[in-house]
Structure formats: structure tokens, C-alpha cells
Amino acid sequence: MHRITDWARGLGTRRLVAVVAGGGVVVAVAVAVAVAAVAETAGTPAAPGRSVASASDPPGAATVACVGSGFTAGRRSWPGCADTGVPAKTALRSITSPGPTGKGDGYVTEITKKGTVINGVNLTGSFDVWANDVTIENSRITTRNWWGINLRHGYTGLKVLHDTIIGVPGKGIDHGGEDYGVSSSGGTVDIGWTNISEVGEGISMDSGFVHDSYLHNLQAFKPQGAKGYEHTDDIISDGGSGLTIKHNTLLNQLPADRGASASVGLYADDGSPSDDVVEDNFVAGGAYAIYPGGPSGSRGIVVEDNVFSTVYWRGSGIYGPVSRSYWHSGRGNKWADNVFVSGSRVGRAVKP
């Protein structure tokens, strides 16, 4: 179902099942989403802390709009628009690729110098990183390329901090779509306090740290040469090792017939995943909300202290919260303290 190939005009992007938001009414909530608890009627789509659909609406009929300060349940909270992306009052310099480096073309800016820091830009285009230890921070990236930011094979140490990355549905290079917010075929990547939307795969990487970020409103499109929709994931890894996903809000609002795959997809397409941690995330949507590592061979997979919302579907994901066939009791694997945060099973444990 998922694959990785280097193609597309030699760009070497990691190509997977992808993306766009459709099949539902986007409901704008004009108030901050910040309440002491999450309360929903079973099967009724609702934004955490605020109803966005009537009880007669079918599951999956609504999409959480990007507003408010975040998502809360009791004393716990997770990121939203107010605490991710470009910080308020940040002065941005508007540029178009291949700026600011001057390398690339109208779709992409190439970064080839080690230690480059990109700060405070409003880029129409994308970044393709061919260097170690690059930082892209406090910036807004509106992409029509395969990705918003891409790290090439053989390079590592990329940091993506306090950024807003947005695709433009119908305008992307892949038959109208944009495949990835951030993609990496290289080494470790640190992604924090970042807001990613309107792409097929929010983040595609196998090693690094994704934290304190908000991924939402994925994009459904039919890629070049395909009859069906690409599959969509907020975060996807294919057989990687050493990926930590902690304290994020991960929403996949798409229905199955428009490519829904997961909020977190740890797949074994390119080998057995190992030493990955999924902790303290607010997840909702996808075919299953989490695919946790593959049917066999994975080891050191820790999934703990996550909350599963029924904002789109009664089971959190369309078919349930977790794909049981993707979990096994391998060496060092741990599943603990994961619970439903809403719906008829609020407070109950989620078990693989």
C-alpha cells in the first residue's frame, strides 16, 4: 500500500500514499477551543470542547477548522493554531523560490551550505536541503511542489521550528496535489511547534523528533498515473528507527474513499521499525488512528499516554483506534495508558 521511490524529474522525493481534504463540511469555530474536558455524543463529529455538527450528521461529516488555542482534556492540553506555526507579530519577508539562496527554480529553493539558517521568511515555493545542520524557523511556506521542506539522502541535522507549511489544493505538481509537508530520505530531523496542513502526508521521515506540532486538514488528490486517491497520514515512517513523536495534535479528517490511512503510520514496507516512541499525542481519524509497527519483526516500539478522540469517527479511526494486525509483543514493545478522550467509551483504555 505504501511505497518509497525516487522519481519525479529526478527530485528524489520519498513517494508514499498521500492526500486532500474533501468529503466534508469545514466548520469554522470562531472561538478558542480551550475547555476543561472533551465531551461528545458517540458518533457525532465535534471539535474538542465544542460541537461542530448535529447529532443527525454522519461520522466524518465535519472538519475541525484551524482556530483556537489548542485541544484540552481535564488538565492536559495539546497544540493548536495559537501555539504552533509562525509566532504572532513575527515580521516576515516575502520571497519566491529560488530565493533566498538563488539556487533552484520557481518551485524550489535549494540549500547547499552546511549550517544555513533561514529565519522569518514568507516563501512561495519550497526548500530542498542538500546540507547538514540546516535550520528553517519562524517562517511560512506555501508550496506547490512535491513537498514544503525536503531533506536529501546523506544529510542530517535539519531543524524545522515554529513554521507554517501549507499546500495549495489543485495547484500542486503531482496532478494538482502536494505530497508532503516535510519529507526526509536523510538522517535525523527535529520538527517542533510547526503547523502543517493541506498536504497528503504531513511528515514523512524515519528518524528524529516530532513534537509540539499541529497537523490537520490533509489534502485528498489522485496522483499522476493513478486512478484512486493516495493514502494520507499525518506522520508516516516506513521501516525506520529512532523516531519520537511526542505531544502533537494529529488529525486526519478524510474518509476511506478519499485516501484516509492514519494519524500515525509506522509501517514495515522497507523493513521492521525499531526504537520508535509515540507518546502523549492527541489523535483522531484515518482508517485506523495508529498503525503501530507492522505484524512482525518490530522491536522497541513504545506507544503510551496518547488520547484518542472521536471527533470524526466513533472508533477514533474509521475502523477503530489501532490496527491490531500491526502490533505484536516483540522485544521492547510497549503499549500502555492510551485512552479514549471522548465518545461513548470516554476514559476507557485503548488496547491493540
- Is position 321 within any domain? yes
Q: What pLDDT is recorded for position 328?
A: 86
Q: 322-346 pLDDT, tens per residue?
A: 999 999 888 899 999 999 999 999 9
Q: 5-57 pLDDT, tens per residue?
A: 222 322 322 222 222 222 222 222 222 222 223 333 223 333 332 222 222 22
C-beta separation of 293 from 323 below 8 A? no
Q: Which residue has the higher pLDDT, 7 or 273?
A: 273
pLDDT band for position 187 (cuts 50, 70, 90): very high
The residue-averaged pLDDT of 153-180 equals 92
Q: How do strand 117-119 and strand 135-137 relate by DSSP bridges?
A: parallel
Whichever domain contains 306, its CATH number is: 2.160.20
- Is position 253 within any domain? yes
User: Which amino acid is it at 192?
Assistant: G
- Is position 351 within any domain? no
Q: What pLDDT is recorded for position 333?
A: 95
CA distances from 173 to 102, 148, 286 (A): 21, 12, 24
pLDDT band for position 221 (cuts 50, 70, 90): confident
DSSP letters for 24-37: SEEE---S----S-
- Is position 12 within any domain? no
- Is position 350 within any domain? no
Q: Flag whether pLDDT at 60 surpasses 60.
A: no
pLDDT band for position 230 (cuts 50, 70, 90): confident
C-beta separation of 252 from 261 below 8 A? yes
- Is position 15 within any domain? no
Lowest mean pLDDT among 58-67, 81-90, 129-138: 58-67
**Which domain range does residue 71 map to?**
25-340
Q: What pLDDT is recorded for position 9?
A: 27
User: Which amino acid is it at 94?
Assistant: S
Cell of 1: 500500500
Sheet containing strand 140-143, edge to edge, reads 93-96, 121-124, 140-143, 164-167, 195-197, 214-216, 249-252, 282-285, 307-308, 339-340
- Is position 219 within any domain? yes
Q: What pLDDT is recorded for position 69?
A: 66
In a 13 Å sphere around the CA of 36, the CA atoms on its Cβ side amount to 0
- Is position 7 within any domain? no
Q: What pLDDT is recorded for position 171?
A: 87
* Number of domain units in the chain: 1
Whole-angstrom distance, CA of residue 313 vs CA of residue 328: 25
Q: What is the CA radius of gyration of the chain?
A: 19
